[in-house]
């Protein structure tokens, strides 16, 4: 089954998400450069904090805590360096640390060295440079998983809709390289199965076709800035996650439909031969 991620810094939401089947709670500390490159767009800009990491860690027991830090940067006048940020995120309970918006192999090496085996590492491939250098990046030891970021990547490429990257084969090409290295990967996010600009059911089936391992359950799945009643949130999560898991079961069955039949044909032929 896909690992489902949900972005929040609210402990009560994290607990509900965990209880209803979300695997990873996603704390999003990234803010450096994000306003500039996503100016005027209705995108999520969370700017969570180290304190949020600790609060979320304390609020869940089964779910892993994934922390997206900022792109590699030196110490700034009003913010800590990447090394300090990563150290503090891990000390506060991050199980997985995600590096966003990198453009070079050197940045990946720096990131891996800063994490230094203390948490799992996830690269967010969301720049054209990272996509072009993916073969070299995949040779860097210490990468545990990769997520393909459709939002920033489609913006950088001048596309109008992030799922153009799915339609034009870009995600499939990148996924093939990652799978060849034996690394788990995911891409983008999904809304409810019948919600979103493109229905989540269509996106989820592409995850199965491509062999994806993880996906972000998006803000449009359950926007807890607008839905604030815990019971209402619990209903949305319980129903929505159950729908996702049902469609996954259908996709898994479909994936083995012809191989199961082939196995049955061979068994039948063998049985007939033996009876003669």
What pLDDT is stored for residue 199 in this prediction?
A: 86
Total residues found in the chain within this entry: 276
pLDDT for 38: 65
Domains of the chain, start order: 3-275 (3.20.20.60)
Q: 248 exposed, middle or buried (CB, 10 Å; 0-12, 13-18, 19+)?
A: middle
Mean pLDDT by groups of 10 residues along the chain of 276 residues: 96 98 98 76 75 98 98 97 98 98 98 98 98 98 98 94 93 98 96 84 91 93 93 96 93 78 82 79
What local confidence, expressed as pLDDT, does residue 53 receive?
98
Listing DSSP states for 165-219 in one string gives HHHTTHHHHHHHHHHHTT--EEEEEE--TT-TTTTHHHHHHHHHHHT--EEEE-T
Q: What is the pLDDT of residue 262?
A: 78
Q: What is the per-residue pLDDT for 272? A: 77
Give pLDDT, residue 254: 83
Is the Cβ–Cβ distance between 82 and 70 less than 8 Å? yes
In this prediction, residue 39 carries a pLDDT of 61
């Amino acid at each position: 089954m896909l690992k489902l991620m949900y972005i929040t810094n609210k402990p009560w939401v994290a607990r509900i998400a965990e209880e209803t089947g979300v695997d990873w709670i996603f704390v999003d500390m990234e803010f450096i450069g994000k306003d500039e490159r996503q100016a005027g767009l209705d995108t999520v800009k969370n700017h969570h904090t180290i304190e949020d990491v600790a609060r979320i860690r304390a609020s869940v027991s089964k779910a892993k805590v994934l922390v997206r830090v900022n792109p590699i940067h030196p110490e700034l006048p009003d913010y800590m360096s990447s090394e300090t940020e990563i150290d503090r995120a891990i000390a506060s309970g991050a199980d997985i640390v995600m590096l966003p918006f990198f453009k070079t192999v050197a940045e990946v090496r720096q990131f891996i060295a800063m994490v230094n085996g203390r948490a799992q590492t996830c690269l967010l491939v969301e720049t054209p440079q990272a996509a072009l250098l993916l073969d070299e990046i995949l040779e860097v030891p210490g990468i545990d998983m990769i997520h393909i970021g459709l939002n920033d990547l489609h913006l950088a490429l001048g596309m109008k809709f992030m799922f153009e990257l799915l339609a034009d084969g870009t995600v499939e090409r990148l996924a093939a390289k990652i799978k060849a290295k034996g690394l788990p990967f995911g891409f983008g996010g999904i809304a409810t199965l019948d919600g979103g600009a493109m229905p989540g059911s269509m996106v989820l089936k592409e995850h199965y076709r491509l062999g994806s391992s993880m996906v972000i359950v998006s803000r449009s799945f359950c926007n807890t800035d607008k839905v604030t009643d815990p019971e209402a949130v619990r209903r949305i999560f319980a129903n929505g996650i159950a729908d996702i898991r049902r469609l996954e079961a259908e996709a898994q069955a479909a994936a083995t439909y012809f191989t199961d039949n082939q196995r049955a044909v061979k068994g039948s032929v063998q049985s007939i031969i033996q009876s003669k």
